Amino acid sequence: MTEPLLPFGVLAELTYACPLHCAYCSNPLDLARYGDELTTAQWLRVLAEARELGTLQAHFSGGEPLLRRDIVEIVRGAHDLGMYTNLVTSGLGLSPLRAEKLRAAGLDHVQISIQDWEAAASDRIAGLRSFERKIAAAVLVRRLGWPLTVNVVLHRQNIGNVAEIIALAERLGADRVELANTQYYGWAWRNRQALLPSREQLASAEAIVREARQRLEGRMELIYVLPDYYGDQPKPCMGGWGRRLLAVAPNGDVLPCLAAHQLPLPRASVRERSLEWIWRDSPLFQAFRGTDWMPEPCRSCDRRELDFGGCRCQAFQLTGDATRADPVCHLSPDHGIVLAAVSAANDPSRPGAARTTPRPHPGRPG
């Protein structure tokens, strides 16, 4: 196998604690397993090792990263290493004093999640009265001169409000808007029946996004991510398994993607090995790197160097075998599984608003 590419970015999931209860959360179902979080010193060592590997970007996420009392120190550590720093947050906990400290520590960018365009709908999806605090946080971000990304996870319960969501982002002065349809892992997988939109909903949203892109060109970047289930070709998992990005969970587990914790593969932890060894040599990162592992139809497909067989976690989740072709692909022998889910989402007799299982609060970090 050829020498792996160097990781461009590290996603530091500082904690899975979060005040919100979103039914589409991608965090693991067994949240209690991640309660033993890395210390400040351990996170600073991870960032230093990532920088030595050539990593240029540090993205701080969770859960809610602002629940970490040491978030300012961790951000300062990444900044002092010369890394571009990005805070991915609900906005809750971003007080003016905290924001000033983060700016002084060298934070470069803030991404705030919003669940819908107005308070009642957004608070219902979040499971908490939070909309007004999110808006206040976005206003604070712009006042302090940070670039602002507004992230909205789209699903059956809010995709009909795409026009209003874009208008809200305009009013907030966002530089970038991510309209990302739900990917079905973690709690979203448990709630797929209630979240997967219909073809009619998607067609309407896509038309609105196309018009808005033309109107906002040069003023606001608008990113729209189609749900995997409605594509006929899979997306490359994180740009390809173990190619450009690594994620570090709150307990120190290192992953090629956010959902890989569910795969029956040997774990890799920064508590036990260096980040360099994990990236270059660990069985976890070697498992699906490149194309040598591929069975048919992926092995002979002319897209194998483009999509790398699609998502390994999705293949495992839908078939029980992580080596199978991603069932999203129309060439996969398991494509019928996805077609059945899409058919159910478009059944005119289905209930209008199915109940969801909200993500629980695993507790506040120490």
**Residues at the annotated binding site for [4Fe-4S] cluster?**
18, 22, 25
255-256-262-264 Cα dihedral, nearest 10 degrees: -100
Is the peptide bond between 63 and the residue preceding it cis, with omega within 30 degrees of 0? yes
CB-based contacts of 3: which residues, under 8 Å, 6+ apart? none
Under 8 Å between Cβ of 67 and 283: no
Q: Which amino acid belongs to residue 97? A: L
Q: Which amino acid belongs to residue 170? A: E
Q: How far apart are the C-alpha atoms of 101 and 115, rounded to whole Å? A: 27
Between strands 148-154 and 245-248, the pairing is: unpaired
Rg (CA), the chain: 20
User: Token pair of 316, please?
Assistant: 């495992």
Find tokens 């240029």 and name the residue.
56
Find tokens 């006929």 and name the residue.
232
Q: How far apart are the C-alpha atoms of 173 and 140, rounded to whole Å? A: 11
* Local structure of residue 153 (DSSP, 8 states): E
Phi/psi-derived region of residue 61, left when phi > 0, alpha when psi is between -120 and 50, beta in every other case: beta
Report the candidate in 316, 263, 306, 289 with the shortest Cα–Cα distance to residue 7.
289
Binding site listing: 18, 22, 25
Report the candidate in 116, 109, 128, 99 with the shortest Cα–Cα distance to residue 167.
116
